[in-house]
Amino acid sequence: MDLIQKHKEKFEKAIDHLKSEVTGLRTGRATPALVEDITVEAYGTKQPVKALASISVSDAKTLVVDPWDKSVLQQIDSAISNSQLGINPVNDGKLIRLPLPELTQERRQELIKVLSQKLEQARIVVRKIREDIKEEIEENYKNKMIGEDEKFKLLDNLEEEVKEYNEMIKQIGEDKENEINKV
């Protein structure tokens, strides 16, 4: 089995994690992904909002969070208020409305900075995986499990694979940046 294929799942997980992180960045329209993973302290444990309530979009600029158990309404409200979304929840005692204000140019720039940090974290993860695979290739070469030609072939294949994943990261970043800047 090819060493690179063996580690492909790690690369895929890094990309999937980036996609889920980027989905939580607020753009101009309402989407449940903005709040579904916010952690709420309820029933003695930390849980995401999506485990405690239904989240729906009532219009393009408003989310509605409807807890299944109304006793956790206040904890959900607090968690959303304390998150870095910049949304002020409106709690009517039964559900929470989240009116999304228009993004200011300043807020868009902040979101792009956060996006850049998330992209860089993904690149770091990909580099770390690459280094682990390189070490494994070198170890196999030292132990004479592979020849020199195969070692260099594997290293070249690894660089191609890493290049592809870095392109994916770049594309995810460009798509999200366009979404953030869309008025």
pLDDT tens across 120-149, in order?
A: 999 999 999 999 999 998 988 888 888 889
pLDDT at 130: 93
Tell whether the model's pLDDT for residue 1 goes beyond 60. no
Q: Give the whole-angstrom CA distance, residue 55 versus residue 67.
A: 9
Burial of 105 (0-12, 13-18, 19+ CB in 10 A): exposed
Residue where the block lists tokens 């196999």: 140
Q: Give the whole-angstrom CA distance, residue 27 versus residue 183.
A: 9
Q: Give the whole-angstrom CA distance, residue 143 versus residue 155.
A: 17
Q: Residue 83: what residue type?
A: S
168-181 per-position pLDDT tens digit:
999 999 988 888 77
Name the superfamily (CATH) of residues 3-22+104-181. Ribosome-recycling factor (1.10.132.20)
32-91 per-position pLDDT tens digit:
777 887 888 888 888 888 888 888 888 878 888 888 888 888 888 888 888 777 778 888
Q: Give the whole-angstrom CA distance, residue 38 versus residue 162.
A: 31
Highest-confidence segment of 3-7, 75-79, 106-110: 75-79
Tell whether the model's pLDDT for residue 163 goes beyond 90. yes
Reading the block at residue 103, the tokens are 């993004």
| 122 backbone φψ class: left, alpha, beta (φ>0; ψ -120 to 50) | alpha
Q: Give the whole-angstrom CA distance, residue 158 versus residue 138.
A: 13
Its CATH architecture, for the domain 29-99, is 2-Layer Sandwich (3.30)
Reading the block at residue 51, the tokens are 């485990």
Q: Where are the domains of the chain?
A: 3-22+104-181, 29-99
Contact 73, 93 (CB under 8 A): yes
Give the global pTM: 0.68
Cα dihedral 165, 169, 170, 175 sign = positive
More confident of the two residues 98 and 60: 98
pLDDT at 110: 81
Contact 94, 87 (CB under 8 A): no
pLDDT-derived band at 156 (thresholds 50, 70, 90) equals very high
